[in-house]
Structure 1
Amino acid sequence: MADQISWHLSGDYFENCSCSVACPCLVSPAAPLTAQPTEGFCNVPLIFHIDSGRYGSVALDGLNVFVILRSPGVMADGDWSIATYIDQRADDEQTEALVAIFTGVAGGPMAAFAPLISKNLGTRKVPITFRIDGKTRSAQIPGILHMSVDPLPTLHPSGEMWVNIGHPVSPDKMALAVGAPGNTFSDHGMRWDNSGKNGHYASIRWSNQA
């Protein structure tokens, strides 16, 4: 069983959802994810780069993963759709491991989303480019994704606003960011443009061990 395999990974991630800055879903006053998304729905691409990681005996170093989540309304109400895109450089064992981790089947942070997902749109292997240039994070999948975020402007000398909002992907802290112009996703009959919308980025350190 996938959830019996010990795994861990570390790397970086960023996202750019369809909400105006800042997204109300993560700071809902009543309970997490219960606020109405600013557009009435939430389309969120999440992109991951693994610096180092292992799933059992399978090495995951250097691979990228892209996940889309679509919520048709209030996120806590569920009925989400998910699609997973795996680095085309991954072999069959690595692909199986990455799908298990990033769909939440193997436990770990993504498992927090699993009860809210009702439709799995499947997995594709694609060429994924992930870059960090200074404080800018960017990613590209030809014909599918063009995505870039920068830190939300701030007077803080660091040029970044780091917050602890309990996001499952990075529960300790993440930077508030904003999507660059031309941030688009197109696949599965959907086309999103999240330019100028809410974003986050952070280093990640995941495992399925308590």
Structure 2
Amino acid sequence: MAENWKVAGTYFESCNCQAPCACVCLGPPSDGDCAVLIGWHVDQGAFAGVSLDGLNIALFAYSPGHMLQNNWRVALYLDERGTPQQQEALGKIFSGEAGGALAALTPMIGEVMGVKSVAIEYRIDGKRRSLRIPQVADIEIEALPGQDGGDVTINNHPLTPAPGFAAVIGKSKRFRFTDHGFFREISDRNGFYSPFAYHG
């Protein structure tokens, strides 16, 4: 029998595409390939009775061409503050193994490069979102200013890690990632953020 679980909180992502990233509307990446870092902060969550409140998760994904070619290379990073039971639960949920919304993305994965327990700093500061993993990642995005100071959003797009929520469009202040043989250091590229809620 599958475990009952649910998690909810906030997420953001940044990639090397021009903003807004065409991949979310099933278009090709603007630079021919796509390297994206996704971060989540769990405000409230539990998996089979194990609390997941306050923990962070990150996922790096690389597609050498169109995102729908189903050959992503991915690496998953789990909050080192979590107990072994919490990290196991996070691994199942955010890899898609436990089902739920993220399971829809798993057929696109061609290779899992690794799963690591690391320090993950996830921050929200007004319209900015940032994530830092020492020696691995340092990402910050800021929402684009819309009409009358409101957010610029995309709703109901077909390729999203946060279905059911409008994505706020932003641009990266910085994007640095180095792990598994990858090195990217760019800025002024795509970013999205929104709440998320998953269950299984």
| Partner residue in 2 for 1:15 | 13
User: Higher strand fraction: Structure 1 or Structure 2?
Assistant: 2
Structure 2: which amino acid aligns with 1:134? G
- Cα distance in 2 for residues equivalent to 1:19 and 1:116: 19
Deviation for aligned residue 1:166? 3.8
- Cα distance in 2 for residues equivalent to 1:103 and 1:38: 26
Q: Following superposition of structure 1 onto structure 2, how do residues 117-196 of structure 1 map, counting pairs within 5 Å?
A: 117-158=109-150, 160-164=151-155, 165-172=157-164, 173-180=166-173, 182-196=174-188
Structure 2: which amino acid aligns with 1:17? C
Provide the aligned C-alpha RMSD in A: 1.3
Deviates more, 1:79-88 or 1:149-158: 149-158
Deviation for aligned residue 1:122? 1.2
Kindly provide the CA deviation profile for residues 33-90 of structure 1, in whole angstroms up to 9, marking residues without a partner as x: 3x22101011010000001100111110000001011111011111111100001101
- Cα distance in 2 for residues equivalent to 1:177 and 1:157: 13
Number of aligned positions between the proteins: 198
Deviates more, 1:49-58 or 1:189-198: 189-198
| Partner residue in 1 for 2:49 | 57
Asked if the contact 2:172/2:189 (under 8 Å) is kept, the reply is yes
> Relative to 1, partners in 2 of residues 1:49 and 1:65: Cα closer, same or farther, differing over 3 Å?
same
Asked if the contact 2:23/2:159 (under 8 Å) is kept, the reply is no
Deviation for aligned residue 1:167? 4.0
Give the TM-score taking structure 1 as reference length. Answer: 0.90
- Cα distance in 1 for residues equivalent to 2:8 and 2:88: 18
Shift >4 Å, 4+ stretches: none
Matched, 1:72 2:70: no
Q: Percent identity?
A: 36
Asked if the contact 1:16/1:194 (under 8 Å) is kept, the reply is no
Give the TM-score taking structure 2 as reference length. Answer: 0.95
Asked if the contact 1:110/1:168 (under 8 Å) is kept, the reply is no
Kindly provide the CA deviation profile for residues 88-138 of structure 1, in whole angstroms up to 9, marking residues without a partner as x: 101111111111111111111211111111100111111111111111111
- Cα distance in 2 for residues equivalent to 1:126 and 1:105: 20
- Cα distance in 2 for residues equivalent to 1:97 and 1:17: 26
Partner of 2:147, secondary structure, is: coil
- Cα distance in 2 for residues equivalent to 1:112 and 1:57: 24
Asked if the contact 1:83/1:123 (under 8 Å) is kept, the reply is yes
Q: Following superposition of structure 1 onto structure 2, how do residues 24-43 of structure 1 map, counting pairs within 5 Å?
A: 24-27=22-25, 33=26, 35-43=27-35
Partner of 1:175, secondary structure, is: strand
Structure 1 gaps, min length 5 = 28-32
Asked if the contact 1:24/1:37 (under 8 Å) is kept, the reply is yes
Structure 2 gaps, min length 5 = none
- Cα distance in 2 for residues equivalent to 1:21 and 1:60: 32
Partner of 1:183, secondary structure, is: strand
Asked if the contact 1:17/1:194 (under 8 Å) is kept, the reply is no
Asked if the contact 2:101/2:163 (under 8 Å) is kept, the reply is no
| Partner residue in 2 for 1:83 | 75
- Cα distance in 2 for residues equivalent to 1:207 and 1:60: 13
Q: Following superposition of structure 1 onto structure 2, how do residues 91-130 of structure 1 map, counting pairs within 5 Å?
A: 91-130=83-122
> Relative to 1, partners in 2 of residues 1:13 and 1:194: Cα closer, same or farther, differing over 3 Å?
farther
